[in-house]
Amino acid sequence: MRRTFLKSATAAVVAITTLGFGTTVAAQDAAEFYKDNVIKWIVPYDPGGGYDEYSRIIIPYFERYTGARVDIVNLPGSGGMKGAVEIFNSPADGLTVGIINGSAMVTNQLAEIEGATYKVGDYNYLGRIVADKRVMVASESSGITSFEDLMNNGTTEIMGATGLGGSTYVDAVITGEVLAIDQRVVHGFDRSGDIRTAMLRGDVQTMWGSLGSALSGIEDGDLKIILHGEKVATGMLEGIPSIYDIAMTMDDGEKRVKILESWEALSAVGRPVAAPPGIPEDRLAFLREAFAQAMNDPEFVASSLESDRELSFATGEDMSRIAKSATELEPDVTELFVKAIRGEI
C-alpha cells in the first residue's frame, strides 16, 4: 500500500511540476524551435511589387525577433490566389508563413471563384501590415473638382477598372450602386497604371485606388481626390467628403451606411501575414509576438516611412476578427457583393 501511495504521490508531484512549468517550457520550446531554424515566407506576386517590397522591408526585423532565418519564395499566379492557397495548404508546423492580398482573397471566396480552396477566416494570422485607404480620383482634364461636381454635371462619367472582381472594380461598382452615381464602368485594363494613362488621355475620367498609389499623380497635378472611404478624414483627406457623409444625405441612409461598412470591412483586411490553420498554439503565439515587435520596432517604422510605405498594424487576434467579419456578411449584402464581383451589376 505504501508503494502505491508513493507511486501516486510521485505521479502527482511530477504532474504538478509539469503543469507548473508547462507554460514556460512551451514558450521556451517555441523560441528554441525557431532559433537558427528556417521560415519560408511566401509572396504571391513577382519580385518588385508592393507585397514583395513590404515583405523585404520587414523580414530583417522579423528575423531579429524570431531568431530564425527567413527565406522569401515568390509564387505569382491567379492574381495572388496561387500563393494564398499554397500558404493555406502548407504543413502546419509553423515554419511556413506568407503575406496575402486579403481583400482580393475575400472577394474570391465570397464569389466562389474556381480555385479559391481556402477559407479566409481559418488562417492563423500573425497580424496585418497595412490596409490601404481607398480614394476616388478624377483626372485634371475631366474638369471635375469635387464630388458635388460629379453628381451635378449631368454627364455619365467613365470610371476605369482593372479586372472583374479586382479591388478597383469592386470599389467602383459597390459605391456606384450605393451612392447612385451616374457612371459607366469600363473594365479590362491590365493594371491600374494603364487606367492612369487612359485618364491622362481623357478616355477615362475617374477611378478608385489606394491613397498611396494616387499620391504621385496628385503631386503632379494630374489627379484630384474627390471621395474617400474613411469614417474620419485625416491628413490629406480633410475637407473631402467621405462615402458615409454622402450616404447619410440620401434616403435609406442607414441601410446604405451598413452596406458601405461591409465594404470597408473588406478593405480592412488589407495585407495580412498569415500561417496555415492548425499550427501549435505556442508557436503561433511566438510568431505573433515576434511580428508585433518587428512592426513596432522604431527603426522599421522609420525606414518604412522613408520609402513612403504606409503602415497600419493590427495584431493577429484582431486580424482573425476582421477576417471573419469580412466573410460573414449578411445574406443580402453578400448577394450584392457577389453580383458586383461577377460583373452582374
Return residues touching another protein (CB under 8 A). 46-50, 52-53, 56, 74-78, 82, 114-115, 158, 162-165, 186-191, 193-194, 196-198, 200-201, 203-204, 216, 219-220, 306-308, 342-343
Q: Quick one: cell of 102?
A: 486579403
DSSP 3-state percent helix, strand, coil across the chain (nearest 5): 55, 15, 30
SS3 325: helix
Nearest distance from C-beta of residue 90 to another protein, angstroms: 15
Under 8 Å between Cβ of 102 and 115? no
Residue 112 or 330 with smaller CB distance to another protein: 112
Nearest distance from C-beta of residue 243 to another protein, angstroms: 26
Nearest distance from C-beta of residue 313 to another protein, angstroms: 22
Nearest distance from C-beta of residue 157 to another protein, angstroms: 13
Under 8 Å between Cβ of 83 and 104? no
Residue 63 or 245 with smaller CB distance to another protein: 63
Residue 30 or 116 with smaller CB distance to another protein: 116
Partnered with residue 136 across adjacent β-strands are 208, 227
Residue 146 CB partners (closer than 8 Å, separation 6+): 226, 241
Residue 17 or 156 with smaller CB distance to another protein: 156
Q: How far apart are CA 24 and CA 289, in angstroms?
A: 15
Closest by CA position to 130, among listed 20, 213, 186, 11:
213
Residue 77 or 280 with smaller CB distance to another protein: 77
Nearest distance from C-beta of residue 186 to another protein, angstroms: 5
Residue 83 or 316 with smaller CB distance to another protein: 83
What letter represents residue 321's amino acid? Answer: R
DSSP state of 242: B
Under 8 Å between Cβ of 15 and 48? no
Nearest distance from C-beta of residue 339 to another protein, angstroms: 13
Nearest distance from C-beta of residue 155 to another protein, angstroms: 15
The 3-class SS string of 147-206 reads HHHHHHCCCCEEEECCCCCCHHHHHHHHHHHHCCCCEEEECCCCCHHHHHHHHHHCCCCE
Residue 8 or 197 with smaller CB distance to another protein: 197
Residue 52 or 132 with smaller CB distance to another protein: 52
Q: What is the biggest distance separating any 2 CA atoms in the chain, rounded to whole angstroms?
A: 96
Nearest distance from C-beta of residue 82 to another protein, angstroms: 8
- Taking CA atoms, 91 is separated from 76, 86, 338, in Å, by 20, 10, 31
